[in-house]
Structure 1
């Protein structure tokens, strides 16, 4: 079993994300882990990934790309419309040595 250490704010955001789709936090974490393995084939620092996921969710809500209304399930939203026009680093990882000058 792996332990995940996150600050309380990150846990609260993950709980909100999970609740919007009727999941428990453990279900959300398992789903995110499985999707990360499928997309990248390996998992580095999963706690960091969860922190970034929570931060991006909060930023997308703040930008009105995701409705602030918590009764709107995330699974009903169009991910391409949400991500359209965002900086490349938001949708594709940028290697630290290749940051824009």
Structure 2
């Protein structure tokens, strides 16, 4: 099992920083490339740019929670939740 993770292409866990505008302020977010790929895919499915998708997600979290203490962590967890939700049917049928 560890071989699957140990043999992962290092480019997937290299970090990339992107700039985006949240509530009239420009900010930068540094995430591993794997998370950017997931976010890019989620945005495409909703016919949004990744920046637009993150802005909408950020706005929804602000409305429901009132704060986003760590944007990068929130985005990583959103990706993990997405993967978890999509994996559940396969797990249940096994």
Q: Count how many residue pairs are aligned between Structure 1 and Structure 2.
A: 65
Offset of residue 39 of structure 1: 0.6
Gaps of 5+ in 2: 1-25
2:55 matched residue in structure 1: 30
CA–CA separation in structure 1 for the residues paired with 2:57 and 2:82: 13
2:68 pairs with 17, 37, 43, which one? 43
CA RMSD of the aligned region, Å?
A: 1.3
The answer on 1:13 being equivalent to 2:38 is yes
CA–CA separation in structure 2 for the residues paired with 1:35 and 1:49: 12
**Structure 1 runs of 4+ off > 6 angstroms?**
none
- Partner SS for 1:2: strand
The answer on 1:62 being equivalent to 2:87 is yes
Gaps of 5+ in 1: 66-101
Higher relative contact order (CA 8 A, sep 6+): 1
